[in-house]
Structure 1
Amino acid sequence: MSVLSGKKIVLGVSGGIAAYKTATLVRLFIKAGAEIKVIMTPASKDFVTPLTLSTLSKNPVHSTFYNEEDDNAEWNNHVELGLWADFMVIAPATANTLSKMAAGNCDNLLIATYLSAKCPVYFAPAMDLDMYKHQSTLNSFTKLKSFGNLMIPSESGELASGLSGEGRMAEPENIISFIENDIQSKLPLSGKKILITAGPTYEAIDPVRFIGNHSSGKMGFDIANEAAKLGAEVILVSGPTHQTAKYSSIKVVKVVSADEMYQACHSYFFDVDVTICAAAVADYKPKVIAEQKIKKSEAEFSLALEKTKDILASLGKEKKHQYLIGFALETENEIENAKLKIQKKNLDLIILNSLQDQGAGFGKLTNKVTFIDKNFNIEPRELKSKELVAEDILEKVILNFNN
């Protein structure tokens, strides 16, 4: 999933030959999950048709304040369009349009919307080499940047005039990448690496049987998705589960047993800033794994078990700079047991689940948790969706970095 997913974007198209590229640009915005509304200057319709961009954007294309040929035409509200957008992108941005933006020369719907926008504005210049280098154009660049607008650098190559040099509008793929990278860099967890564990572990008895638990892995995956959404680099170590990561940037490391999860966690732990252990790791495993399927021959069957390695405690012993979060699923003396785990495992925060709470626990879409930090500050939360619980957990992480 792209950081553009769910975002509302107004695309302004001005009258240059590069306008033909906006069909591809709209398609890429839609593919990234964004919602697009297009505003065209009258001159831009000589290079690409409103029908093309309307079909691709799945929204009407606006060009004038109202339809002069229709006495009952509704006014295209530039203020409403400007306030609707999470981002505004003007591509291509011709020398004429850039000059109007810089001067506030509001003689068309695109400039009126630009002046009404309260969101970040990106512009992708497109013009011939001599126009690009002219001092008036350079002045427009400087002035627009001083307004806080973000310039998507033009590329060099063959131009419509036959000249070769700077002034080509950035390719649609590069425009998307520029905007995504800019948004990503401003997210609250940008530059942070987070290790998350999720799901159950399966401890083999023989080639076909195992000891496991009812964990679906949803809580850990929701935390990973929220962390990626907030800009973090995420490593997700997951036991067997049907859950999938929403963001391609999440590195999913699949494991089966507690030993495999232990090894994976320790291989990444020293390079991360935060570790959140949400997996339901088996406490015990068979001492001996049968090489062949155990036959059902006896009326009773005994299985010798031994403790698995305590992943959370082992990470707590090796912790240096990492912010370490653990989960505790308790059925009795919840608060006291959770406090003991904070001390024994050297945690910064523990998230307490209680099976006594209706709607919480394994296999549920909701969870009810209590946050307890290393100073034993207790903060109970109400029952809510696991996605919202994940948001609450990451808020704690962000707060830690801001303190």
Structure 2
Amino acid sequence: MDLQNLKEHHEELLSFMENNGYCSTYIHRFRDEINRILADADSHRWQSYQDIYLEYLKVPHSKDYLRNKRTIIGALEQFDLFGHFPDGRHRHTLFERGSYHLLVPEFQELIDFYRAYEVQRGKKESTIRGESLNTASFLYRMQEQGARSLDEVTEDAVLSFFVSDDGTLQKSCSYKKNISAVFKAGLKWKEPQCRRILGFLPLLRETRKNIRYLTQDEVRLLRDAAENDGFSARNKAILLLLLFTGLRGCDIAGLTFSSIDWEKERILVEQQKTSVPVEIPLSAVVGNAIYDYLAEERPDTGSLRLFLSETHPFSPLAAGSIGNIVAKACRLAGIRQEPGDRKGTHIFRHNLASTMLENGVPQPVITQTLGHTAPDSLEPYLRADFVHLKECALSIEAFPLAEEVFSL
């Protein structure tokens, strides 16, 4: 591993951090790590910055300590190999998120086989990643309990991952399904070991939480908040898109100029979740809000993305920022401010679906509007269709009841 560039230029990195307000303790940690790497390079056969970090795993350390080392070593990698200085925006790429890099070789081999197998079968990358992350966490727990191979995983260890000692469910049915998907693929790799662990996975009932739907009063207050002077034109356009289109937050963040067909008054989107294209009417209220943002507020950066950050360098808006905009709207509207109140972007998607149901819009039309790939995806929204649910209510006239039941 060639560390000559780091040796010659690391003072530039430290000076940059000093000039940009990094605390002295943090800078000192960087200096110590650089000195350690340069001093120990000759006595180790490091091939990459990953190898440098993995050296720390040979001795027990706390998660916080290891997280700190990953951040520092990852930042050094970005500086040494790519010339990137820390900016608070770009996360290091030393490892993917999750526990994979902490696993013993056999556990990593299982996940590697699963990923290659499902890529060949055409499974969506986001699904593969989610199932891999969940399984890596599961295997890391098995490893913490002493298992260094699949043969050493015990049924008690598996059950303790899902259910606590007092019987409380710790992991959901969908989490178990993700783990199961990896081990089912693993049957073509190490059939007996993977089948054995599949047999240990508990039977969990699939449940759905009740969705706290938006009330008409909340919708009115949110629309009023969109007109607040403290709410930017960009945020107003995004809030109205959520209210009137049912688009997911990630799809709104991914909109480009070509996504808006002004002549035909349509919004064209290929959904990130399903890769299914959808075409949504562009209403006047949404179109006017987008136009106001483009004409009055959006900086001209050359980016094709529709929505940009509001501060320099005006980068394309991240999907996570859509949730922050919703949180701000709720604050201005004075709604959903108690701990645990649901105020994510999905409540708007649910609101659109339930409103369309109440107004008698055919279910296939709603499914097409929301871009669902399966008809039963609409089922959770049916529970909030109170207009039609009331039509299913049975009369109690045939049941004898005492008069005091109805008295105040």
TM-score, with structure 1 as normaliser: 0.22
Q: TM (normalized to structure 2)?
A: 0.22
- Pick the structure with greater CA Rg: 1
Structure number having the greater strand percentage: 1
Q: Which of the pair is proportionally richer in helix?
A: 2
